[in-house]
Chains A and B, each alone.
Chain A
Amino acid sequence: MIAPATREFRFADGAAARRHAVFVSTSPREPWISPRTVLSLARKELRDSLRNRWFVTYTAAFAVLAIGLAYLSRVGTAMSGFAGFGATAASLVNLVLLIVPLMALTIGAASIAPERERGTLAYLLAQPIGRTELFLAKFVGLAGALVGSLAVGFGLSALTLARGADPRQVRLFLTLVVLAMLLALAMLSVGMLISVLARRSAAATGAAIMAWLVIVFVGDLGLMGSAVLFRLRASSLLLASLANPAQCFKIAVIGSYDPTLDLLGPAGLYASNTFGATGLPVVLIGCLAAWVVLPLVLAAACFGRRPL
């Protein structure tokens, strides 16, 4: 610790020397994670997301499509008597599967790599903040932006359908909203992992789009193809589905409408029989939560070790 001013201090005046000596010797131990710092940094991430034209475009596209689906569903309700929320929710599943992973993966991929490339990351980390704090703040800020964006889309869609809604359908619609948000957080974690590992910003974006293709399209088609080609057993098919967050989301939403999972064929029946009507949602939500936590922890560990 620095001793009080001595002859070796070449300060212009003794007061300055003493002030610094006191400052050094009394500065408190820093907490590993300071909530105040994390919130300050997270607010900036939220603000940046709201100014990001891609993010705004995704949000607008999701909101417009969700309202469009709600409107069409409402017209259908008037004509055929189908429940508005239920029909809209079913249509929204595909919309969510298409847009939400793309949105979350790309903003996650843009979280670290571009800042590393521009040098802003090094400048920020030269300030009195920890890497874990910065990483956590980025996740919190971006998660807030994503959840807000989905809330806008789903909220506008719900407003279109609000009149005369059946409470059970509303509950199912809310289940869809929560599961979509969980899927968004899982994809955000994967996107941030990609961003930490990528050397360049363009590589991070490319890898994020590739991950989206694999998770949304190749995962689905691959699963169907593998089932046919290799005559996969129902248990293997279920395991393969649980390994894909998009599939977990889809099964969980369908399960909330029809707990027997008849729609999903033998694998659905196997899942329903194995875990039961109450166990399956827990398993699926657990898998989605694992997709949020594991890539995030891995990304944080890599971020803490990689040189800038």
Chain B
Amino acid sequence: MNAMIQIDQVRKRFGRARVLDGVSFDVLAGQSIALWGSNGAGKTTLIRCLLGLIDFEGSIRVAGLDVRREGKRVRRLLGYVPQELAFYDDFRVIEAARYIARIRGADAGDCEPGLQSLGLLDHARKRVRELSGGMKQRLALAVALLNDPPVLVLDEPTSNLDSAGRGSLMELLVGLKAAGKTILFISHRPEEVRGLADRVLTLESGRVVTDVATTRLHLAGDALAADRLDQFDEVFSTDALEDRLEQVAIVSGHGIRRFA
């Protein structure tokens, strides 16, 4: 098994609230996984655990390296794109890229080609606060790619973008996937999941309730759907199915939007 990311029995509590409750799954090298689920399901918390931003129980390994023991080394393998780039607004775009390049141990000379590849070189002298939402996300992606990390972690990267911005960013991400990047991303948009993911993991109340290959799903309006219950039989994990047989039956009529 060639797992780039191994998440094993990850648990996280905030006070009394159990946010992650034994989440386990693997992401193979070169694979793209979508995390799907309603707000509060634990998706962002899981990504924060992966990045080593919060402590957790269980184990997360990236390329065989333990996130807790070798956090810096793991983060060097990860390119992170947040929902909204929280960066120093008074930095110029090129300064921001050089700053992150130094931190990521990338060559400062890679910044300009990196910005160029994402259409930002003409804006290099602008301050970050002057960029549109779409350009900020492009900048976040540009700096995430500076040291050519094998894994991209994206937390709703298109949520603040207009339709054109979404389309253009997704095009870039599909290209990166084709170039061999392993991608773990959160999305609430079925068309993005269909376009980019190989598998969709649905989180509910901190647990993975479904693990579905996207080839089994198709777009049904604004939802992802499978046509027949037997397809869900094949693609849903059996444990989840046993626990949730009734709900799955309901879900089969309405697509997995039921879980979103």
Contact = CB atoms under 8 A, between A and B. Distances in A.
Nearest to B1: A8
A51 interface: yes
A72 B20 CA distance: 67
Interface stretch (A117-125, A183-191, A208-216, A295-303): A117-125
A185 B7 CA distance: 43
B180 A12 contact: yes
Given A51-B90, A130-B72, A123 B103 contact: no
A6 to B, nearest CB: 5
A211 to B, nearest CB: 27
Q: By CB atoms of chain A within 10 A, which of B82, B104, B148, B180 has the most?
A: B180
A30 B70 contact: yes
Contacts of B148: 19, 23
Interface stretch (B27-35, B118-126, B233-241): B27-35
B180 A13 contact: yes
A278 interface: no
Given A16-B179, A128-B105, A2 B73 contact: no
A235 to B, nearest CB: 46
Interface residues of A, number: 43
B50 to A, nearest CB: 10
Contact of A307 (B53, B72, B103, B180): B53
Contacts of B77: 23-24, 27
Contact of A10 (B30, B48, B51, B103): B30
A233 interface: no
B29 A128 contact: no
Interface string A269-307: 000000000000000000000000000000000000101
A126 interface: yes
A128 B102 contact: no
A9 B72 contact: no
Contact of B103 (A21, A30, A40, A48): A40
A147 B132 CA distance: 38
A125 B53 contact: yes
Interface string B172-189: 000000111000000000
A11 interface: yes
B54 A307 contact: yes
A41 B29 contact: no
B86 interface: yes
16 contacts: A2-B4, A2-B64, A10-B30, A10-B180, A11-B179, A17-B30, A19-B148, A30-B70, A37-B103, A40-B102, A44-B99, A48-B88, A118-B86, A122-B86, A126-B80, A127-B104
B227 to A, nearest CB: 26
Contacts of B31: 10
Contacts of B53: 122, 125-126, 307-308
B213 interface: no
B165 to A, nearest CB: 20
A128 B70 CA distance: 10
A17 B55 contact: no
Chain B: interface residue count, which band?
35 or more
Nearest to A129: B103
B29 to A, nearest CB: 5
Q: By CB atoms of chain A within 10 A, which of B52, B72, B76, B99 has the most?
A: B72
Interface string B108-145: 00000000000000000000000000000000000000
B88 A24 contact: no
Contact of A123 (B2, B85, B178): B85
Nearest to B29: A9
B114 to A, nearest CB: 15
A41 B102 CA distance: 9
A19 B198 CA distance: 22
A9 B86 contact: no
B73 A27 contact: yes
Contacts of A118: 86
Contacts of B251: none
Interface string A35-79: 011001100100010010000000000000000000000000000
B75 A9 contact: no
A11 B70 contact: no
Contacts of A122: 48, 53, 82, 86
B179 A17 contact: no
A302 B31 CA distance: 37
A18 to B, nearest CB: 10
Interface in B15-37: 28-31
Contacts of A5: 29
B90 A1 contact: no
Contact of A2 (B54, B63, B87): B63
Contacts of B99: 40, 44
Contact of B180 (A8, A11, A126): A11
